[in-house]
Structure 1
Amino acid sequence: MANREQIKGHWNEIAGRLKEHWGQLTDDDLQRVQGSADQLVGMVQQKTGAARNEIEDFIDSVFRGGIGERAADSVQQYGEAAQQLASEASDYARDQARKFAAQSADYSARVVDTVRARPTESLAIVFGLGIAAGALLFLGRKR
């Protein structure tokens, strides 16, 4: 039989399931015995005429079947959702890497074609960039 702490910790679920199973139980009946396993069983027995072991088995089944199954279902659902998200993130990252690689290759090919087509202008641009970078470094060290 479930102990006092288990019953107190899951009181709303137990009360709801008891009222579903034995319709003649009221909120007031259950409120009077809240937290006490023996009083709960005695009150249900008195109101319904059910056998003590039947009531105890029912309360135990709430813990075994109800809470455990829902917890397992929730864990499984979260696991499946996490797996789906990880798969989607992996696919997205793979797509982005492919796009980046394609763009990189395209830009590299353009640079090579430009240097081959206009070698003098390319050297002049690179030389100018080198002078500008050197000037920035020199001015940065002066300060």
Structure 2
Amino acid sequence: MANREQFRGHWNEVKGRLKEHWGQLTEDDLQRAEGSAEQLVGVVQQKTGATRKEVEKFLNNILGGSLGDQASETVRQYSEAAQGFADEAGAYAKEQARRLAAQSSDYSAKIVDTIRTRPTESLAIAFGIGIAAGALFFAGRRR
């Protein structure tokens, strides 16, 4: 049998579905049992002649269906939100990659320009970096 919170949370739906299924139930009958699943089962049994098991199964189907619908709706909403965040993150990453590529291209152009306008200084700097790298390499191998 469904718990009290489930039952109270879906009271209007439960009332409507009970009246659809068992037409002889009145609003007054259902008001007597409001908030109590045990009383509701008793009222339905008394008015309709249905068995306790039959009434409980019907109530569980109502509550199980509506809870399942709510759960699937919640999952759908979270899925849509996650997709939105993923789309935003993808757009941000693409923009940052584009910006980085543009900066890299700018720096490459500046380096080429510097080498063309100052070839002697560029060659001296490259030679010095080569000497330093070689020294570090050989110093690391000796240890």
Residue 41 of structure 1: CA displacement? 2.0
- 5+ residue gaps, structure 1, are 1-6, 34-38
2:10 & 2:87 partners in 1: Cα distance? Answer: 43
Q: Tell me the equivalent position of 1:36.
A: none
Q: Does 1:11 align with 2:12?
A: no
Q: Tell me the equivalent position of 1:114.
A: 114
Query: How many percent identity over aligned positions?
Result: 48
2:73 & 2:60 partners in 1: Cα distance? Answer: 20
Q: Tell me the equivalent position of 1:98.
A: 98
Residue 15 of structure 1: CA displacement? 3.1
Superposition pairs for residues 50-89 of structure 1, below 5 Å?
50-51=47-48, 55-56=55-56, 57-64=58-65, 66-89=66-89
Q: For the Cα contact (< 8 Å) 1:14–1:59, is it kept in 2?
A: no
Task: Provide Cα deviations, 1:43-87, integer angstroms capped at 9, x if missing partner.
Answer: x437xx6536595545422222x1121011111101101110110
Q: Tell me the equivalent position of 1:24.
A: 32
- 5+ residue gaps, structure 2, are 16-29
- TM normalised by structure 2 equals 0.70
Aligned residue pairs, count: 123
Q: Give me the CA root mean square deviation.
A: 2.8
Q: For the Cα contact (< 8 Å) 2:10–2:63, is it kept in 1?
A: no
Q: For the Cα contact (< 8 Å) 1:45–1:52, is it kept in 2?
A: yes
